[in-house]
Amino acid sequence: MTQVVHLHVGGPKSGTTFVQQVLERNASTLADAGVLVVGPRLDLIHAAMAVRDDPRLAGLPAGAAQAWDRVVDQVREWQGRSAVVSYELFANASVEQARAALARLSGVEVHVVVTARDLGKALASSWQEQLKFGLTKPLERWSPPQESAERSEWGWRTMQPANVAARWGADLPPEQVHVVTVPAAGGDSGELWRRFAEACGLEGIEGLDLDVERVNESLGVVEAELLRRVNTALDGRIPGGRQKSLWLRDLLAHRVLAPIGREPIGTVPAHAAQAGEQADAAIAAITAAGYRVHGDLDDLRPRAVEARLPGEVTDAEVAESAAIALADLLVWAREAGADVRTAGSEDETDADAGTLDRAKAVVRSSLTRLGGPYRDRRVERLEARIAELEAEVEQSRALHLRVATLSDVVTQLLLPASQQDGEVTMQALREYRKRSL
Give DSSP secondary structure letters for 224-248: HHHHHHHHHHHTT-S-SHHHHIIII
* Predicted confidence (pLDDT) at residue 341 exceeds the cutoff of 90: no
Instruction: pLDDT band for 419, please (50, 70, 90 cuts).
Output: low
Q: Can you list the domains of the chain with their CATH numbers?
A: 4-216+267-304 (3.40.50.300), 381-436 (no CATH)
Give the tens place of pLDDT for each residue, 163-220.
999 999 999 999 999 999 999 875 566 899 999 999 999 998 999 999 887 666 789 9
What is the average per-residue pLDDT within 260-286? 94
pTM, 2 dp: 0.74
Give the tens place of pLDDT for each residue, 32-89.
999 999 999 999 999 999 999 999 898 888 899 999 999 999 999 999 999 999 999 9
Q: What is the average pLDDT score of the chain?
A: 84
pLDDT number for residue 262:
87
* Predicted confidence (pLDDT) at residue 406 exceeds the cutoff of 70: no
Give every strand in the sheet of 4-10, ordered side by side.
35-37, 82-86, 4-10, 109-116, 177-181, 292-294
* Predicted confidence (pLDDT) at residue 343 exceeds the cutoff of 50: no
* Predicted confidence (pLDDT) at residue 399 exceeds the cutoff of 90: no
CA distances from 353 to 20, 335, 346, 364 (A): 45, 21, 12, 18
Distance separating alpha carbons of residues 112 and 34, to the nearest angstrom: 19
Peptide bond into 344 cis (omega under 30): no
Contacts for 415 with CB less than 8 Å, ≥ 6 apart:
none
Instruction: Give just the sign of the alpha carbon dihedral 418, 421, 422, 426.
Output: negative
**In terms of DSSP bridges, do strands 82-86 and 177-181 run parallel, antiparallel, or are they unpaired?**
unpaired
Question: Helix axis angle, 373-414 relative to 16-25, nearest 10°?
Answer: 20
Question: Helix axis angle, 161-168 relative to 95-103, nearest 10°?
Answer: 50
Give the tens place of pLDDT for each residue, 225-245.
999 999 999 998 998 888 898
**Angle at CA 315, nearest 5°, toward 310 and 318?**
70
pLDDT number for residue 369:
40
